[in-house]
A and B are shown apart, each in its own frame.
Chain A
Amino acid sequence: MTPTEADAYSRSAAAYVHIPFCSSVCPYCDFAVVAGRDDLVGRYIDAVCTEITTSEPWRPLEAIYFGGGTPSHVDPSVLGGVLDALSLKHGFSADAEVSLEANPEDFDVARATTLRSLGFNRVSFGAQSFDSSVLVALGRRHQSGQIESSVRAARRAGFENVSLDLIYGTPGETANSWRDTLRRAIDLAPDHISCYALTVESGTPLGRAVRDGAEAPDPDTQADRYENANMVLSAAGYTRYEVSNWSYPQHECRYNLTVWAQGQYEAYGNGSHGYRDGIRFRNIRRIDAYVSAVESDKTPRSGNDVIEGWDAEIDRLFVGLRRVVGVAPGPGVTTFLQSDSGRRLVDADVVNLVAGRLTINRPLLTDEVHRCVLDLEAPQCFPT
């Protein structure tokens, strides 16, 4: 993917739909999810559809992403209804990417075929690991064999774009176990692989356990795993295009690319986040509060950040630097290179300049770069 292609996504229109339902909540998860409230599915989906139909009309969407939660946990026809509402409201571009997240235990050929016929063309499986002890440690309900059968089912149903999410650095995971997970993932030849470091979030069961003395993931071990993944995946023909994402050429997730290119995306559902018309906005996080708000004709928005002027330039760097292609030259890049902390990052080889573009050379230190970016002040000549 060339920088020009990547930057072109800044003009995309995308949409995110949140499906918060799960059969159980994983101990590390701090997303807006619910388990055991399937009774709310009907009202929730109605609320999402209402939110879609009452939103500002837009141009045809080029990427739609159903995330969760577990979109595959609910009946496919329900998701089909949401897709219809979206299509009716904004329209889809001819080659729109329509993704959903799915859990291996929910997936079979019949369901896959239905989802495919409803219009989904990309599926991202929460595989996490092929090591059964790691899966247990992560509180996952599937077995490694189900990952393999799910991927096969997706292929048989005609999904040409399949992704696997993997988690590394779980306490108890060994270097061998991680290598084996990578190997078995590659054997399935998914088009896209995401590798995420297990992150301890406060307020989750994992966060509480670590606070009470349970073993925390070791950052150095996670760095080892990450470097190993990058090496193995590259050798297998995958190219990293973002901090945690690898794909076959031309199989990058276009919804992701839109977000990192500072493109615009609508967001529907509880706890979802969007960026449209210069505003980063978020919806009410609690599912019941969200549903009540929509049902009583109130806005489900719980916050807006206006991104304009210098903030927009900082925002461009902030999101864009997660990409391997980095960010195009601009006042933010110039200011960065002139700042003390920016120069330190250049000296330490954390960032470098490739054909005028600022890129991150050591992706594992991205937060370090981000803190520096957020600290940049507008140069005097910058119009306010």
Chain B
Amino acid sequence: MTDQTRIRNFSIIAHIDHGKSTLADRLMEKTGAVSERDMRDQLLDSMDLERERGITIKAQTVRLDYKASDGEEYVINLIDTPGHVDFSYEVSRSLAACEGALLLVDAVQGVQAQTVANAYLAIDAGLDVIPAINKIDLPAADPDRAAVEIVNILGGSANDIVRMSAKTGAGIDEVLETVVRDVPPPRGDPEAPLRALVFDSYFDAYRGVVCYVRVVDGHLGSGDSLRFMATKEVHDANEIGFLTPTFVRVGVLGTGEVGYLITGVKEIDRIKVGDTITGARTPATEALPGYAEPKPMVFSGLFPTDGDDFEKLRDALEKLRLNDASLAWEPETSKALGFGFRCGFLGLLHMEIVRERLEREYDLDLVATAPSVAYRVTMLDGSVTEIKSPQDLPETIDRRGVAEPYVKAMILTPSEYVGPIMELATSRRGIVGDMNYLSPERVELDFEIPLAEIVFDFFDLLKSKTKGYASLDYEPADYREADLVKVDILLNGQPVDAFSAILHRDGAEDYGKKMTGRLRGLIPRQLFDVPIQAAIGGRIISRETVKAKRKDVTAKCYGGDISRKKKLLQRQKEGKKRMKMVGSVEVPQEAFVAALKLDDDL
């Protein structure tokens, strides 16, 4: 057990690509936790996808031994945080395990939306925030400007901000010294009953669920019988230890310490991130604050392109869930796309990551329906139901109103793009609020906007309108009533479920026009004219026609070559077997897939 005064628990918070993982690597190197030879670049980001995208999905944690300039030995626990807003609950739990946070800002890019969002999260969690400016070695670095922006958010003096380069190693000693000096030591009560926070967990095929824990009060001993206060489950501490970053088994984790816990539980969803662990025999009366169930915000239907892959998709989802308790799904059947799953995600990035992992790691070819959000429908009798799929929206006459989730969004942008961004936000029903200049060149724009507008195409438009310079962050706000309608796409009068969408009335016609136009180009000609319509209830808002096929005949069967002709037609027939029938219209599945995948212009 380490004396609490010698412990420093901190996180690094940063916008994507601002150098968080590189800094973590340097710190490990510097403190001897990892030798340079063993070092893979950015050790903390271990998933391939994380490395590729430069973001952290699962937090990791490492214990560093550091001899400070005051001659004392310190234990520094570096608690990594997921780097994206979709995982803000997970971020908040990681921060709750710390006393301080190092706010890392890129000297070239300056403060970004996530920097601010994370800084506020840390301040709200009562952490001491220590700013540092990274990448000062780059030719385009402008640390003075970054310092001004930081001061505008956090206050303080620009002179106190550490300037460093994780790449070259410049300023790393100063970072460690600052952490020891400015991060407060834990102040738990060693005599109180055990209270430990589960701030992350993951599934290991050999060990079962591994929990990352921070002991707040008391101590956690190997073999102790433990009560998980939220789930009310009792498990034994089969193994506990430190992460250096390899597992080092110990007999006890003392007050203020950070480590891992293995209980033998195999199912990830039986361990809740944010839960409080206490002793089963002498339990604490009160759990640590802040526990919540992560709630999916964005929903999308995932269907295997090849219907035979349905079971494979189910297996893959189950495997992903081993490590991602926030992933939720239920089976969904679509006339157009066959059997699949309606999946719930924490946010857009989460959705993208899951889809990519399914396709890459499980070799699946998937079709995803347009992402949607959860709507709250007030029925005529006043009851409220939540719907996650456009198909579940009750008829207009059966409902009194529909409310949709709004988010508080924050965009940080170079000031020259303020005009286009305001235009974009208002065109997407955003309500513009405060505007703060962090520096003469950089502005923070706050607004409230329906989540549905953001999941649709907002990110892409924002990027294209600001040449990629603006950054966006958002957090759930509230539900608001809106004039929402369901747009159905009808093929020869039959609705095609996969294309139904809930939209604001103002955007309905655009959607209808684009989908009907797109499908006209994708649906093969039939024996008769096929109208493709977009409709709101019984009202048609746009229409296209696939003209009837007029010629499908082999002109000549030369010299009575009947066999060859038959074989040719047999082959064409095989193609037809993959057709889906929508009413009397034959549509190749590829057409539906293409219509959903072609989202560049929607």
CB within 8 Å of B: which residues of A?
Answer: 16, 18, 31, 67, 194, 196-197, 199, 219-220, 222-223, 226, 243-244, 259, 265, 267, 271-275, 280, 282, 303, 305, 315, 318-319, 322, 344-345, 347-348, 350, 363-368, 370-371, 374-375
Interface residues of chain B, those whose CB is within 8 Å of chain A, are 527-528, 549-566, 569-570, 572-573, 576, 584
Query: Contact at A366–B553, with CB atoms within 8 Å?
Result: yes
B573→A219 contact, CB < 8 A: no
Q: A275-B560, A282-B561 are in contact. Are A371 and B569 (CB under 8 A)?
A: yes
- List 16 additional contacts besides A223-B551, A374-B569, A375-B573; criterion CB under 8 Å: A67-B559, A199-B555, A219-B549, A219-B551, A243-B555, A267-B560, A273-B560, A275-B560, A275-B562, A348-B527, A364-B552, A364-B553, A365-B549, A365-B552, A365-B553, A367-B553
Which DSSP category, helix, strand, loop or mixed, fits chain A's interface?
A: mixed
Whether A273 pairs with B562 at a CB distance below 8 angstroms is: yes
Among B555, B564, B565, B584: residue with most chain A CB under 10 A: B555
Q: Which 10 A-B residue pairings sit nearest by Cβ, starting from the closest? A: A348-B527, A223-B550, A196-B555, A366-B553, A219-B551, A223-B551, A259-B560, A364-B551, A197-B555, A273-B561
Contact A367 B569 (CB under 8 A): yes
Q: Shortest CB–CB separation between residue B572 and chain A, in angstroms?
A: 6
Contact B563 A282 (CB under 8 A): yes
Q: How far is the CB of B402 from chain A (nearest CB, A)?
A: 39
Closest A residue to B550 by CB, please name it.
Answer: A223
20 contacts across the A-B interface (CB closer than 8 A): A67-B558, A219-B550, A220-B550, A220-B551, A222-B551, A223-B550, A226-B551, A243-B555, A271-B559, A273-B559, A273-B563, A274-B560, A280-B562, A322-B557, A366-B554, A367-B569, A368-B552, A371-B576, A374-B569, A374-B573
Bound-complex Cα distance A255 to B561 (A): 14
CB of B554 within 8 A of CB of A199, answer yes
Give bound CA distance, A321 to B559, whole Å.
17
Q: With a CB–CB cut-off of 8 A, which chain B residues contact A265?
A: 560
The answer to whether B553 and A243 touch across the interface, beta carbons within 8 angstroms, is yes
Q: Looking at the assembled complex, report how far the CB atom of A72 sits from the nearest CB atom of chain B, in whole angstroms.
A: 17
Q: Are A374 and B566 in contact (CB under 8 A)?
A: yes
Closest beta carbon of chain B to A18's beta carbon, Å: 7
Residues of chain A lying within 8 A (CB to CB) of residue B565: 370
* Cβ of A225 to closest chain B Cβ, rounded Å: 10
Give the docked Cα–Cα distance between A345 and B557 (Å).
Answer: 22
B554 partner residues in chain A, CB cutoff 8 A: 199, 366-367
Partner of A370 from B550, B569, B576 at Cβ < 8 Å: B569
Closest to A314 in B: B566
Known contacts A318-B566, A350-B527, A368-B527; is-contact A267 B559 (Cβ 8 Å): yes
Identify A244's interface contact among B527, B555, B572, B584, CB under 8 A.
Answer: B555
**Chain B residues with CB below 8 A from A196, complex form:** 555-556
B556 touches A244 (CB 8 A): yes
CB-based nearest B residue for A195: B555
In the complex, which residues of chain B have a beta carbon less than 8 angstroms from the beta carbon of A364?
A: 550-553
Most chain A Cβ neighbours within 10 Å, of B528, B559, B573, B576: B559
Q: In the complex the two chains form, is A363's CB within 8 Å of B559's CB?
A: no
Q: Are A366 and B563 also in contact (CB < 8 A) when A31-B558, A350-B527, A374-B570 are?
A: no
Given contacts A31-B558, A371-B569, contact A197 B563 (CB under 8 A): no
Q: Inside 8 A of A344's CB, which chain B residues have their CB?
A: 527, 584
Q: What is the distance, in angstroms, from B419's C-beta to the closest C-beta of chain A? A: 44
In the complex, the answer to whether A305 meets B563 with C-beta atoms within 8 Å is yes
Chain A residues near B566 (CB-CB < 8 A): 318, 374
Tell me, in angstroms, the Cα distance from A18 to B559 when the chains sit together: 9
Chain B residues, CB < 8 A from A371: 569, 572-573, 576
